[in-house]
Structure 1
Amino acid sequence: MKKVLQQGCSVVMAVLVLLSTISWSVDKHLCMGRVMDISFFSHADDCGMEVALSLLDEDIEKPGCCDDESFVLTGQDDLKLTWSDFDLEQQHFLFAFSTSYLDLFVPLEELPVPHLEYPPPILVRDIHVLDQVFLI
């Protein structure tokens, strides 16, 4: 169970690092205010309106009805964190969390007996036999 949990956490962390370092770009092609094409990581295809307008008579002024919009989200380049990048409260939390987490997996040779140092009480009379109260 411990191995499966560690592998699952490793996969999740690897995916988070991958997604945070990739640069994302989204291109949209708008024709008359309506979205015609959306493309991730490449240029969006046009609707063909420019080709149709170029075939018209050259004397007519061509209205521009198409727009291209682009959105770029740059990924994180610097992934090296140092201990001094954290403030004092974060350092205390990380230290306490790591120590308590690592102490969970320390193997025990034998189970601790909490009452080993204390002797059992001295029985003067056997009260169950005197009162004749028995568990059935």
Structure 2
Amino acid sequence: MKNALRHIVSLMMAFLVMLSTMSFTVDKHFCGEHLVDKAVFSKAKTCGMQMSTSAENHCCTNEKVSVEGQDELKISFDSFDLHQQVFITTFTYAYFDLFESLPKQIIPFKDYSPPLLVRDIQLVDQVFLI
């Protein structure tokens, strides 16, 4: 139970970090006061009426709302100087070199079932634990 709870909390924290750093745009198209279409990540469909270039002659409006995510969590490898890049590279290489894979264990009898007991050996030999 404790291990499952830890996995659930870690997944929720990962999604929280992902959602807080993600930015997106919501595009809305209004015809008068009526919302015709709303689109996320793409352009909203129009109502089919031609919008004129002068602002006072048309009834359709487009509204774009951008939600920017935070950039503090972005770490670029290029922002480090040469000594820091060498340290990170050698540390990562040495860390992953610590873990060697175990040789595959071959169990020759895993496909065979044990023999059937024909008679009770303890009863035949009259060997009883007291």
Corresponding residue for residue 113 of structure 1: none
Corresponding residue for residue 70 of structure 2: 76
Structure 1 unaligned regions, length at least 5: 54-61, 81-136
Structure ID, larger Rg: 1
Deviation at 1:41, TM superposition (A): 1.2
Deviation at 1:79, TM superposition (A): 2.1
Corresponding residue for residue 29 of structure 2: 29
Corresponding residue for residue 125 of structure 1: none
Distance 1:8 1:20 in 2: 18
Mapping 1:110-129, distance limit 5 Å: none
Partner of 1:49, secondary structure, is coil
Task: Please tell me the residue identity of whatever aligns with 2:49.
Answer: M
1:78-124 Cα deviation digits (max 9, x unpaired): 127xxxxxxxxxxxxxxxxxxxxxxxxxxxxxxxxxxxxxxxxxxxx
Q: What is the TM-score normalised by the length of structure 2? A: 0.50
Partner of 1:50, secondary structure, is coil
Corresponding residue for residue 44 of structure 1: 44
Distance 1:50 1:25 in 2: 24
Task: Please tell me the residue identity of whatever aligns with 2:26.
Answer: V
Aligned length: 71
Corresponding residue for residue 60 of structure 2: 66
**Identity across matched positions, percent:** 45
1:34-68 Cα deviation digits (max 9, x unpaired): 110001111111110118x9xxxxxxxx9311100
Distance 2:24 2:70 in 1: 11
Structure 2 unaligned regions, length at least 5: 75-130
Distance 1:69 1:2 in 2: 48
4+ residue segments displaced more than 2 Å:
none
Task: Please tell me the residue identity of whatever aligns with 2:16.
Answer: L
Distance 2:73 2:9 in 1: 19
Partner of 1:7, secondary structure, is helix
Distance 1:36 1:44 in 2: 9
Deviation at 1:9, TM superposition (A): 0.5
Q: What is the TM-score normalised by the length of structure 1? A: 0.48
